């Protein structure tokens, strides 16, 4: 009887579960933000690139490299376009 009461008061398993759940929540939040950013850059490349060859090239880079490709497009093309118009 006493051993059951001692096990009921032990919360070490619950702490591990909460830690894993927190890490999963952070991972899923990052994945959702990265996917939205990826989609935003993909649409931006298709809408704002003038030449068909550039559209196709940037589409393939962003589509195949996912988040890394979206970051490359953001820093190479969008930043350059903002400076050229200013």
Do 61 and 81 contact (CB within 8 A), yes or no?
no
**pTM of the predicted model as reported, rounded to 2 decimal places:** 0.71
Domain coverage including residue 54: 2-85
If pLDDT is split at 50, 70 and 90, which confidence band does 86 have? very low
Structure tokens at 31: 């994945």
Residue 77: per-residue pLDDT = 85
Q: Domains in the chain: how many in total?
A: 1
Average pLDDT over residues 36-64: 94
Q: pLDDT tens digits for 63-82?
A: 999 999 999 999 998 777 65
Check: CB of residue 44 under 8 Å from CB of residue 63.
no
């Amino acid at each position: 009887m006493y051993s059951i009461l001692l096990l009921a008061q032990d919360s070490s398993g619950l702490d591990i579960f909460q830690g894993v759940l927190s890490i999963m929540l952070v991972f899923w939040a990052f994945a959702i933000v990265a996917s939205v950013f990826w989609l935003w850059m993909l649409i931006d490349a298709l809408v704002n690139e003038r030449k068909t060859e550039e559209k196709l090239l940037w589409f393939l880079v962003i589509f195949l490299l996912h988040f890394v490709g979206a970051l490359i497009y953001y820093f190479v093309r969008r930043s350059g376009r903002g400076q050229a118009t200013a």
